[in-house]
Chains A and B, each alone.
Chain A
Amino acid sequence: MAFEKYDFTPITQSIHQALIENVSPLLTTIIEWTIIGVLYLLFIAVFGLFLVYAERKVCAAFQQRLGPMRVGPWGLLQTIADFIKLLMKELITPKSVDKFLYNLAPFIVIIVPFLTISVIPFAPGLQSLDFDIGIFFVTAVSSVGVIGVLLAGWASNNKYSLIGGMRSGAQIVSYELSVGMSLITMVILAGTMQVSEIVELQRGGWFLFKGHIPALIAFTVFVIAGTAETNRGPFDLAEAESELTAGFHTEYSGIKFAFFFLAEYINLFIVAAMATIVFLGGWMPFHFGDWAAFNNVMDFIPGLVWFFLKVFGIIFLIMWFKWTFPRLRIDQILTLEWKYLLPINLFNILLMATMVLLGWHW
């Protein structure tokens, strides 16, 4: 296959070989871990900043504004300037907060995207953690974040924060079900939970097309529930600024606030990436039936580009929601989950299972 030439495996293999031949296996492991850690750190920092910039530009486009234009060309350096400002800001710890939990919360929140991102294959061979329960790992780890949000709300000793934290707890715990269930639907189709294999199985066609009706339902539910799980509008009740000023992170300043902020955007990326991997074929190019010429042209675009194109498409969709819809109320948001999304999901799992059993998928 033509796009196999963009495989990253030879590069990683040669680095590993060079290390193992020159230094001890223990040192090799340490060096490799360090490299991977630094790369992820860099990626999260840079991509987080870029997403903030993208959101401001997208939002500006919806609101007929220009967005940041002053710092750097087209305001490209604006978020970097903002980040430097956040780094230099005083870290305020209000009186009578639970100091330990107050300081712990932002770290719990920021750890989650670091863990989840490890199973995401950006391109062939560009994945650090590929084990047989990848999908399960993502759903399990992503639910840790809510603890950070609850702690932040509780420890801040602020009633707005408390309400925000409680809202967020109720919301994320509920929507995790839908995210998990829609992923399970696709796992039934794939027959595996290993992320790399799921992507590989979509070589002949993306699961969204392979699984047709149930896959489409699962995709819709996943995008809705994913938006809710990242606490973004119209589900941004946890920080509903017109009701709770800033919700659970009202009392945080400086870099601790930046942690919450960064975590939100990286979680957005992870939701989009999971949707891409499970429904839209990950880094697989778009193929259409037996149009050989068309398919060959598509193959010339590297997997990394495909992956990010799809991710950005979904991120744009989620941003579009945020800048169009008004916010839901807490009881409405729970009604949506427990009365609509969850029954639809359960029915959908049955449908998918029947379909797989009878072989009705492509």
Chain B
Amino acid sequence: MAEFSEKYIITDEIKADEYLVNIGPQHPSTHGVLRLLTRLEGEIVHNVEPHIGYIHSGIEKMTEALSYPQIVHLTDRMDYLSAHMNNEAVCLCVENALQVEVPERVKYIRTIFDELQRLASHQLWWCASGMDLGALTAFFYGLRDREDILDIFEETCGARLTLNYSVPGGVMFDIHPNFQKSVKAFITKFRKKLPEYDKLLTDNIIFQNRTKGVGVLSKEDAIAFGVTGPTGRASGFSCDVRKHHPYSAYPYIKFDEKLGTDGDSFMRWKVRMDEMWESMNIIEQLIDNIPEGDFAVKMKGVIKLPEGEFYQRVESARGEFGVYIVSDGKKNPYRVKFRSPGFSNLFTINHIAKGWKIADLVAIMATFDLVIPDIDR
């Protein structure tokens, strides 16, 4: 442990030739109210100290006064880009605690929504990263194609961003009659669009120079920092919850866990791009086989969890999202802890951005796919 703290310690003394720059809380590339207190020498980053909490909303504390179905509605305000995964995590946790078996149909619907949500999230990440690196046109292409997914969400559950679709015991409504048709149409269309994205940025020589070898996160460090999701997988850390602890319909399907080797910004980019292809494969396996049946099981009016501690993890678009509920048998939880992927991912930034230039810090942040409310909760 001593070795760890020496290696990754954040020192706050300012040496000669160094100066402090506050990147954020209001800054175009932090995508929210994150403040990075950066110590620079000229353009070179010597130290990055993330200061969080500017959008802390006390969701964990609020949940102690709410019933379990109500908690679900708070979770999509955390990582708003993987709203459905967050909802699902709470629902799965409650269902497991009560040992309720949800219908097969629900599992399929939830998994399809998971993957659609992952596609939407990765697209927003793709286009926003392009913008961070200075390719503004990418931003519009990404948002244009993300719109189709949001339309599909809207068709079924009325919401576009904060879905609130999962409820303990199932989903809130049955899928829209057009759902399968529009998802298939979207996938056909998006399979053609994705190579365009590669042409615009991934294959671009300037883009590759900006990202290749920049901000390398080794596998050991990824594990030590608890980095999960595509960011961890780019370092070669096999951490896909969908593979290792399958939930919903993931046990029924075949898919690859995309693993990177280098752990640099380009590999983080590549892993996410590959994940978009994989998400489409998953959806295609499920979309035609949604079983008939109920879209929810009848739950009691007041849900009370048995006394004890319950944990459920899901793979959100950013990594492992965990819900830890301590129940004392009442209708409100005694204590709830959310394990948000962004929090663990963010704090590697000092370690990997040291010695790189300020422009690389932006590239590293872009490929980390940070969502600030997810970090602050």
Residues of A whose CB lies within 8 Å of any CB of B are: 59, 62-65, 159-160, 163, 166-167, 233-234, 236-237, 240-243, 245, 323-332
Contacts and interface: CB of A to CB of B under 8 A. Distances in A.
Nearest to A322: B136
Contact of B28 (A63, A245, A324, A327): A245
Contacts of B55: none
B contact patch SS: helix
Contact of B140 (A63, A241, A325): A63
A332 B359 CA distance: 11
A52 to B, nearest CB: 16
A159 B38 CA distance: 12
B172 interface: no
B60 to A, nearest CB: 32
A240 B201 CA distance: 18
B34 to A, nearest CB: 14
A242 B358 contact: no
Interface in B164-216: 200-201, 204, 206-207, 209-210
Given A326-B207, A329-B210, A242 B137 contact: no
B225 interface: no
Contacts of A325: 134-135, 204, 206
A325 B210 CA distance: 12
Given A159-B19, A243-B29, A330-B357, A323 B134 contact: no
Contacts of B209: 328-329, 332
Contacts of B200: 324
B27 interface: yes
A59 B136 CA distance: 9
Contacts of B43: 163, 167, 330
Contact of B204 (A166, A326, A330): A326
A331 B357 contact: yes
A123 B107 CA distance: 73
A242 B210 contact: no
B360 interface: yes
Interface string B132-144: 1111110111001
Nearest to B358: A243
A243 B362 contact: yes
A224 B45 CA distance: 29
Contacts of B357: 329-331
B134 A326 contact: yes
Given A62-B137, A160-B21, A233-B134, A329 B28 contact: no
A330 B137 CA distance: 22
Contacts of B206: 234, 325-328, 332
B130 interface: yes
B249 interface: no
Interface string B209-244: 110000000000000000000000000000000000
A329 B359 contact: yes
A326 B204 CA distance: 8
A65 B141 CA distance: 10
A326 B42 CA distance: 23
